């Protein structure tokens, strides 16, 4: 069968394929056949569709968290922002990643938005996307000052038993805290024999915060009370509930993205993803329930935070009803079709690499593009105010 495509392309890492399939053929996912409203459809059937039409959101703050799948979410949002020529709120002093971490958002720490000259601080406003590591609580009002009106605030959490184990070994906390052992499970067991002793040896630097309640610290900042005052933790979560419009969960990533689609009024094509920076681990499979319980107890604030938003996510799904699962099935079918069409394969290494083996289409390449390189290009693009049309890629 013949198939007609329309492509909107630009340079690598600043690209997105707009794919419209008029006839189902062998060269692309069959599920993207665009339905056409024929003249036989009545005004009555068309009117509800028009009434339900929402406006895509163009102001999003995504608080990136460590070892939760945050890179995947950032890549999705960045891809959308690149296609729409959005202005990114990024730390100018970190040209490699754009992260703020503990840095405050202020004129001297950010790049000017597109179309604004350097140091023209009066016009440092109306940014569209912030997708980097940042302490949300101390920057909330600052973010509102710089972002376009009515920003949506989101973040992502992961089951703390998995997130802590991933952070502990990825950031090599066992070395920082001088935990003995050869095999990972030995290091884990030895740490929990004297956790406070090792915790006291954690040294200096930002990543030390990742060895206890790291997700909480990423969003709300560090505080002694989060380790021993659970009443205070519960109170802060109630405040956070008023500030965040959506908390995605790694353990329900597809469900979370369906909710994100509804929140942002984007299309499923905008939310296609390949899991990034996923570290293969055999440790989770061999950990006992007792070991998991020790991780939960050590990261009690993270557990309370995660359990709260686990319940919240399930409640949001229940409130939508059966239509949610129709959307979920359609989204998963779309992901599967693009995975086959792009011929994406996984290669396990210390960090999982995701090469496209045969299909070199713009979207396939963008789905697996290295996030750090793309951020560097995006920041350079904004630093130099490159608003002119970009060089197109070859179509497949």
pLDDT in tens, 377-388: 889 889 888 654
Q: In what order do the strands lie in the sheet with 246-249?
A: 129-130, 60-63, 152-157, 246-249
- What is the β-pairing status of strands 60-63 and 246-249? unpaired
The contacts of residue 277 (CB under 8 Å, 6+ apart) are 71, 72, 351, 352, 371
Predicted local distance difference test score (pLDDT) of residue 203:
72
Predicted local distance difference test score (pLDDT) of residue 41:
39
Per-residue pLDDT tens over the stretch 307-323:
999 999 999 999 999 99
Residue 372 has pLDDT above 80, yes or no: yes
Predicted local distance difference test score (pLDDT) of residue 206:
63
Provide DSSP, 81-135.
Answer: HHHTTPPB--BTT-TTT---BT----GGGBPPPTT--TT-GGG---B-EE-S-B-
- Mean pLDDT across 320-340: 95
- What is the β-pairing status of strands 129-130 and 152-157? unpaired
Longest pairwise C-alpha distance within the chain: 75
- Mean pLDDT across 148-158: 98
Predicted local distance difference test score (pLDDT) of residue 358:
59
Beta-carbon-side half-sphere exposure of residue 161 (alpha carbons within 13 Å): 16
Q: What mean pLDDT, rounded, does the chain reach?
A: 82
> In the numeric block, which tokens belong to residue 223?
């505080």
Residue whose entry in the numeric block shows the structure tokens 């922002």: 81
- 154's enclosing H/E stretch is strand 152-157
Structurally, at CATH architecture level, domain 59-324 sits in 3-Layer(aba) Sandwich (3.40)
Residue 234 has pLDDT above 70, yes or no: yes
Residue whose entry in the numeric block shows the structure tokens 């409203």: 37
Closest C-alpha among 256, 271, 364 to residue 15: 364
Strand partners, 129: 60, 88
- Mark residue 21 as left, alpha or beta (left: phi above 0; alpha: psi -120 to 50; beta: remaining): beta
Confidence of residue 179 (pLDDT cuts 50, 70, 90): very high
Predicted local distance difference test score (pLDDT) of residue 347:
58
> Any idea where the domains of the chain sit in the sequence?
59-324
- Is the pTM here over 0.75, yes or no? yes
Residue 9 has pLDDT above 50, yes or no: no
Per-residue pLDDT tens over the stretch 98-113:
999 999 999 999 999 9
Predicted local distance difference test score (pLDDT) of residue 304:
98
C-beta neighbour count of 391 within 10 angstroms: 9
Confidence of residue 58 (pLDDT cuts 50, 70, 90): very high
Predicted local distance difference test score (pLDDT) of residue 189:
95
Residue 349 has pLDDT above 70, yes or no: no
């Amino acid at each position: 069968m013949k198939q007609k495509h329309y492509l909107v392309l630009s340079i690598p890492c600043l690209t997105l394929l707009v794919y419209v399939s008029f006839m189902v053929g062998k060269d692309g996912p069959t599920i993207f056949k665009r339905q056409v409203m024929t003249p036989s459809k009545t005004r009555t059937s068309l009117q509800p569709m028009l009434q339900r039409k929402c406006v895509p959101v163009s102001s999003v703050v995504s608080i990136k968290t460590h070892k939760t799948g945050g890179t995947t979410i950032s890549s999705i949002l960045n891809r959308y922002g690149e296609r729409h020529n959005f202005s990114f709120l990024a730390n100018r002093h970190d040209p490699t990643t754009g992260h703020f971490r503990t840095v405050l958002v202020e004129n001297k720490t950010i790049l000017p938005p597109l179309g604004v000259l350097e140091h023209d601080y009066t016009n440092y406003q109306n940014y569209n996307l912030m997708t980097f590591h940042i302490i949300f609580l101390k920057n909330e009002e600052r973010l509102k000052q710089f972002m376009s009106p009515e920003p949506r605030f989101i973040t992502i959490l992961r089951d703390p038993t998995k997130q802590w184990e991933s952070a502990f070994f990825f950031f090599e906390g066992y070395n920082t805290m001088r935990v003995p052992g050869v095999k990972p499970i030995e290091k884990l067991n030895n740490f929990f024999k004297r956790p406070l002793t090792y915790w006291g040896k954690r040294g200096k630097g930002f990543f030390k915060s990742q060895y206890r309640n790291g997700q909480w610290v990423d969003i709300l900042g560090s505080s002694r009370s989060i380790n021993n005052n659970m009443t205070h933790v519960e109170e802060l979560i109630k405040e956070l509930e008023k500030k965040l419009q959506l908390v995605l969960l790694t353990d329900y990533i597809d469900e979370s993205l369906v909710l994100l689609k509804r929140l942002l009024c984007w299309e499923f094509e905008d939310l296609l993803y390949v899991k990034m920076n996923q570290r293969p681990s055999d440790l989770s499979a061999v950990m006992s329930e007792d070991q998991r319980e020790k991780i939960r107890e050590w990261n009690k604030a993270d557990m309370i935070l995660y359990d709260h938003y686990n319940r919240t996510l399930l409640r949001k799904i229940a409130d939508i009803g059966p239509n949610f699962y129709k959307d979920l099935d359609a989204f998963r079918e779309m992901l599967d079709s693009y995975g086959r069409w792009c011929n994406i394969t996984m290669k396990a290494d210390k960090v999982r690499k995701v090469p496209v083996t045969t299909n070199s289409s713009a979207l396939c390449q963008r789905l697996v593009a290295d996030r750090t390189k793309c951020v560097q290009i995006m920041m350079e693009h904004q630093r130099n105010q490159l608003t002119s049309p970009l060089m197109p890629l070859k179509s497949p």
